[in-house]
């Protein structure tokens, strides 16, 4: 049986988990859950995770959801290098400090563009211009805070080394980046940070993990994305309505 | 109306391919008369058909047009692929010339001596990654629209997509971090006329092989 990871690399937290596992050579079985097909709401997947969300981890009989919990679990179980989730009290507290802010101001905000440009049109609807503008402002404000309050003059978000915070943040940045937003215009420090994290993770691993999201506009333009299954629509519409 | 445009060139990409792409994307059927030997070229010269004794030359609408830019300008204007006013045209020109600069480097690769080829390829890759791809990606990012200029297909998009195919032939990984360029390539490639042009058996020309290169050398009396 062993470790199974239920992922779709179009999703930011899924990519963070995937990259973490690969970078640390954690052996796992990849169980692909196709978000565009709505597989996460299928009866089959719902049996595993009634929250109908990915990433989901299954370690023999132990099922765990929530990317942060999964990352911490993997780092402890497989004794990954200390820098990811430092044992030192204050260093660890900084990681949680970032992840807490991340959950409020990055999660949900940085993924909106995929909805406006690709997913909403796929099910025949659209995100109102007002919400699109509001989202862009929210992204801008979050980036300013990320830059000033978290990164500052440090090489990484919480200190001198890469932590889970940088990984989670990087993958959120990839979303609007892949959708054509110039995130780092006028933010050279963040641009350097982005490069630094990718260099640490390795170009090949990043290219592999980012391939689907970086191709999403291409697939959209060549009209090769199939319409999501009807069962997925109610969830998608609910998600769309949650966009402020 | 005169018949279809007639393209005079040898059977290869060279400096005529961008015209073939533009006509194809504009949905214009065209014919080709291939120069096979130096004598064929001489005949065209002696007929007075080539203003500057050079090809490409395109017979179109009663004109015998030489000079690649003149040919492309005419076709773009005729088929509304040149913007709606002089400002849009200026942008289209700027982008097209940028494409042409990188395209020229790729074009000359086929006649670069083998010893210098590797260095030239490295230079092309460097320019692509650090100058040209970021420049065009930035344009697309800046307005978030589907096409480079005026939210409408123009010759700039077609020239750029043609170039993207050549870069892909050189190294398919170069475009990986340019999502908007990838999307543009997919979008233009999916137009019915372009799709047809991209299929085998169309008038699109393959890269120059040894045999065709030899033939071209003889025709144009190159070293």
3-state secondary structure of B6: strand
Residue B25, both tokens: 């994307």
Residues recorded for chain A: 244
Distance CA A31, CA A58 (A): 10
B188 to chain A, minimum CA–CA distance in Å?
8
**Is residue A18 very low, low, confident or very high in pLDDT (cuts 50, 70, 90)?**
very high
Residues recorded for chain B: 223
B5 to chain A, minimum CA–CA distance in Å?
30
What is residue A41's predicted lDDT score, i.e. its pLDDT?
A: 86
Integer CA distances (angstroms), B114 to A92, B103, B110, B121, in order: 57, 19, 9, 11
Q: Which pTM does this prediction carry? A: 0.84
A133 to chain B, minimum CA–CA distance in Å?
13
What is residue B210's predicted lDDT score, i.e. its pLDDT?
A: 87
A93 to chain B, minimum CA–CA distance in Å?
34
Asked if residues B71 and B56 have their Cβ atoms less than 8 Å apart, the reply is yes
Asked if residues B6 and B58 have their Cβ atoms less than 8 Å apart, the reply is yes
Distance CA B128, CA B97 (A): 14
As a dihedral over the C-alpha atoms of residue B16, residue B20, residue B25, residue B27, rounded to 10 degrees, the angle is 140
Average pLDDT for chain A: 95
What is residue A92's predicted lDDT score, i.e. its pLDDT?
A: 97
Option in B138, B173, B190 nearest A223 (CB): B190
Question: Would you tell me the crossing angle of helices A89-105 and A129-145 to the nearest 10 degrees?
Answer: 160
Complete DSSP assignment for B12-78: SSTTTHHHHHHHHHTT---EEEE--SHHHHHHHHHTT--TTS-S-EEEETTEEEESHHHHHHHHHHH
Contact B183 A211 (CB under 8 A): no
pLDDT (mean) for A202-231:
92
Q: Which residues of B touch A217 (CB under 8 A)?
A: 179-180, 182-183, 186
**Is residue A226 very low, low, confident or very high in pLDDT (cuts 50, 70, 90)?**
confident
> Is A184 at the interface with chain B, CB within 8 A?
no
Q: Residue A207 pLDDT > 70, yes or no?
A: yes
Option in B142, B173, B187 nearest A221 (CB): B187
How do strand B31-34 and strand B6-9 relate by DSSP bridges? Answer: parallel
Distance CA A224, CA A194 (A): 30
Distance CA A208, CA A231 (A): 30
> Is A43 at the interface with chain B, CB within 8 A?
no
Contact B141 A220 (CB under 8 A): no
Question: Would you tell me the crossing angle of helices B179-189 and B133-143 to the nearest 10 degrees?
Answer: 80
Helix (H) / strand (E) containing A64:
strand A62-65
Contact A181 B184 (CB under 8 A): no
Option in A214, A216, A217 nearest B177 (CB): A214
Option in A177, A181, A221 nearest B186 (CB): A221
3-state secondary structure of B90: helix
Residue A80, both tokens: 């990954």
Q: Which residues of A touch B187 (CB under 8 A)?
A: 221-222
Contact A217 B179 (CB under 8 A): yes
> Is A223 at the interface with chain B, CB within 8 A?
yes
What is residue B2's predicted lDDT score, i.e. its pLDDT?
A: 59
Distance CA B156, CA B148 (A): 7
DSSP class of residue A228? P
Contact A178 B179 (CB under 8 A): yes
Residue A128, both tokens: 């109102």
What is residue B223's predicted lDDT score, i.e. its pLDDT?
A: 65
Distance CA B27, CA B102 (A): 26
> Is A177 at the interface with chain B, CB within 8 A?
yes
Q: Residue A182 pLDDT > 80, yes or no?
A: yes
The three-point CA angle B5-B10-B14 to 5° equals: 95
Option in B141, B177, B190 nearest A182 (CB): B141
Contact B179 A177 (CB under 8 A): yes
Nearest residue in B to A177, CA atom = B179
What is residue A91's predicted lDDT score, i.e. its pLDDT?
A: 97
Distance CA B129, CA B222 (A): 32
* Complex ipTM over 0.90: no
> Is A129 at the interface with chain B, CB within 8 A?
no
pLDDT (mean) for A120-134:
93
- Alpha helix stretches (DSSP H) within B171-205: 179-189, 192-198
The three-point CA angle B204-B209-B215 to 5° equals: 95
pLDDT in tens, chain B (223 residues): 558 999 999 999 999 999 999 999 999 999 999 999 999 999 999 999 999 999 999 999 999 999 999 999 999 999 999 999 999 999 999 999 999 999 999 999 988 988 999 999 999 999 999 999 999 999 999 999 999 999 999 999 999 999 999 999 999 999 999 999 999 999 999 999 999 999 999 999 999 888 999 999 999 888 6
Contact A221 B183 (CB under 8 A): yes
What is residue A38's predicted lDDT score, i.e. its pLDDT?
A: 85
What pLDDT digit, counting tens, does each position of A55-83 carry?
999 999 999 999 999 999 999 999 999 99
Tokens 């100058």 label which residue? B131
Helices (H) then strands (E): counts for chain A: 11, 4
Distance CA A220, CA B127 (A): 28
Distance CA A242, CA A13 (A): 19
């Amino acid at each position: 049986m062993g470790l199974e990871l239920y992922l779709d690399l179009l999703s930011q937290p899924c990519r963070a988990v995937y990259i973490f596992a690969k970078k640390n050579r954690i052996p796992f079985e990849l169980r692909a859950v196709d978000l565009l097909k709505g597989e996460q709401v299928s009866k089959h997947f719902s049996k595993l995770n009634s929250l109908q969300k990915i990433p989901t981890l299954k370690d023999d009989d132990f099922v765990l959801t929530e990317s942060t919990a999964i990352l911490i679990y993997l780092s402890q179980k497989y004794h990954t290098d200390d820098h990811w989730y430092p044992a030192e009290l204050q260093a660890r507290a900084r990681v949680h400090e970032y992840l807490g802010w991340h959950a409020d101001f990055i999660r949900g905000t940085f993924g909106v563009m995929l909805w406006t440009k690709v997913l909403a049109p796929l099910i025949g609807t659209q995100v109102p211009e007002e919400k699109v503008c509001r989202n862009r402002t929210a992204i801008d404000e979050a980036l300013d805070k990320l830059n000033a309050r978290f990164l500052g003059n440090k090489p990484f978000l919480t200190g001198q080394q890469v932590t889970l915070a940088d990984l989670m943040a990087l993958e959120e940045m990839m979303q609007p980046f892949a959708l054509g937003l110039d995130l780092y215009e006028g933010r050279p420090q963040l641009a350097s940070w982005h490069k630094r994290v990718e260099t640490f993770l390795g170009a090949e691993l990043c290219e592999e993990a980012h391939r689907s999201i970086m191709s999403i506009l291409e697939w959209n333009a060549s009209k090769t994305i199939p319409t999501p299954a009807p069962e997925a629509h109610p969830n998608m519409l609910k998600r769309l309505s949650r966009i402020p | 109306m005169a018949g279809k445009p007639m393209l005079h060139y040898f059977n290869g990409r060279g400096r005529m391919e961008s015209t073939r792409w533009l006509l194809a994307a504009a949905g214009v059927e065209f014919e080709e008369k291939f120069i096979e030997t130096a004598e064929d070229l001489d005949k065209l010269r002696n007929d007075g058909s080539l203003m500057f004794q050079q090809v490409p030359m395109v017979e179109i609408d009663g004109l015998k047009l030489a000079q690649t830019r003149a040919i492309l300008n005419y076709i773009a204007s005729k088929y509304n692929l040149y913007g709606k006013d002089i400002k849009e045209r200026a942008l289209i020109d700027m982008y097209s010339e940028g494409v042409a600069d990188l395209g020229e480097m790729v074009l000359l690769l086929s006649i670069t001596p083998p010893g210098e080829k590797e260095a030239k390829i490295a230079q092309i890759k460097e320019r692509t990654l650090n100058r040209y791809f970021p420049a065009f990606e930035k344009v697309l990012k800046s307005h978030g629209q589907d096409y480079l200029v005026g939210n409408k297909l123009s010759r700039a998009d077609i020239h750029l997509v043609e170039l993207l195919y050549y870069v892909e032939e050189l190294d398919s990984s170069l475009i990986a971090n340019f999502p908007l360029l990838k999307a543009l390539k997919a979008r233009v490639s999916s137009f019915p006329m372009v799709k047809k042009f991209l299929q085998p058996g169309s008038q699109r020309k393959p890269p120059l092989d040894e045999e065709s290169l030899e033939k071209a050398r003889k025709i144009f009396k190159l070293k």
